[in-house]
Amino acid sequence: MRESYLLALCLTLAGALAAICLLFVRRERVLRHRLTRDEATGVLSQRELQRRARAWLAQAEGHARRGAFFLVRFEQYAEISAMLRAGEDQALLALVAQRLSLVARALGGIVGRCGLDTFTVCVPDVDEQGAAQVSTKLLEDLGASYELGGRPLIAVFRVGAALYPEHGRTVEELQRCVQVSMVPLKEREGPGWNMFDFRLLARQRDRQGLENDLRLALTTRNMEQFELYYQPVCDSASGLVEGCEALLRWHHPVLGSVSPAVTIELAERSGLIVPLGAWILERACSQATQWPAAWRVHVNLSVKQMNEDGLVQLVSDVLADTKLAARKLVLEVTESIFILHYERHVKILNTLRAKGIGVALDDFGCGYSSLNHLRHLPIDWVKIDRSFISALESDAGSREVVSALFGLCQAMHLPVVAEGVETEGQREILKALGCRVMQGFLLGRPAPAAEIQALASAVS
């Protein structure tokens, strides 16, 4: 009886122990899965991908094999996520990860999530041509429509690629290379891919050094490295100056004059355009107080400046401090400021216009939705982009486009400024189309403030 009892007890304990062991095994599997997989998408976690990639690279080193790393970035994921319903953003990421996994699995590769909107794909046994094919395939598959809640959605992706062993022999080196390969894609619109090149690394280092120099230049008390040039805006018939556009010049202590396009691009990318733009506004308004009463000063505003909460107050304070009449200031904006925060930016511009400040739409004709939105935008001037003006004499199509743009603006009683006028032929065509105000090398090149002041004194 006692032996039977003990046997039953042992069996019970054994069963309980087995159940406990099974529970631990299951928990271990769950824990291992959580440690090795991204919870939202199911692909490998960044740490696990790096571990597996290191193992693969170690094996490839001994067998002279090749391969490639790809960085896949979901462009404007935050903006898209904000317009989706709760949970749909995670569902969208899961669909993206699923498509990535299908491509990688077919090639014997692996996929891991390495950021909120970025994934890394590692594919063995591909050369440069193969990496190009993989990049194209990734963009093709990811660019297809997604169905969320019965609604189609198109997303934009960009891919950076780097080769093993040409570009790097360690995970860290290859990950840095794919990051650098993405830099040129920032300057383009829409989807695309790019292969790492060591020249990109050198260029990026130069840009980072230049950005640091720009940051230091902004800390100097008198901003002595910066200067404003002004380009006249003239009456097309008489050639008389009606105003000037303020243009930044940076005199680097070592490199000399830095390209204005490079300066503005660096300032925009780094966010330094906000303090730099405030200085430009104050300086331009201060110098414009010495000009004839009929002259206006045109100052460009960037998207980042428009996103600042204190912009209206800044402009008001500058006008008050410099004692420049509001009617003499024209703020130039591009259509890009209306893409993401349309209502907010319309309200800001209307507030500025209510103070008597003019607003000009710059680069008109090459934006996102010029013809559809023009009549709704809070603007007083339209500046026709120079790309249309340059082909006026040689291209009948450009003349037709410019004629249509002028007709549209005239129908809405919006004054037009033609930018980039460089020849007499262009001026005559524009005058025939009814253009009254022009800007360009033919009428006046950008000049230092002292030269513009001398011109202003001669007019006065």
- What is the C-alpha separation between 420 and 393, in angstroms, rounded? 13
In this prediction, residue 31 carries a pLDDT of 43
The per-residue pLDDT for range 147-188, each reduced to its tens digit, is 887 788 889 999 999 999 999 999 999 999 999 889 888 877
- CA distances from residue 391 to 398, 422, 444 in whole angstroms, order as listed: 6, 11, 20
With a cut of 70, say whether residue 1 has pLDDT above it: no
Res. 369 pLDDT band, cuts 50 70 90: very low
- What is the C-alpha separation between 178 and 167, in angstroms, rounded? 9
* Structural fold of domain 46-196: Alpha-Beta Plaits (3.30.70)
Res. 238 pLDDT band, cuts 50 70 90: confident
- What is the C-alpha separation between 391 and 388, in angstroms, rounded? 6
Phi–psi pair at 159, nearest 5 degrees:
-130, 130
Summary mean pLDDT of the chain: 86
Q: Is the distance from CB of 69 to CB of 177 less than 8 angstroms?
A: yes
206-459 placed in CATH 3.30.1280.10: no
Intervals of CATH 3.30.70.270 along the chain: 46-196
Is the torsion defined by CA of 12, 14, 17, 22 positive or negative?
A: negative
- Peptide linkage before 191 cis (omega within 30 of 0): no
Intervals of CATH 3.20.20.450 along the chain: 206-459
**pTM confidence score:** 0.64
Tokens encoding 1:
């009886």
Q: What is the mean pLDDT of residues 331-354?
A: 84
- What is the C-alpha separation between 323 and 325, in angstroms, rounded? 6
- Residue 445 DSSP SS3: coil
With a cut of 70, say whether residue 367 has pLDDT above it: no
- CA distances from residue 253 to 216, 221, 256 in whole angstroms, order as listed: 11, 16, 6
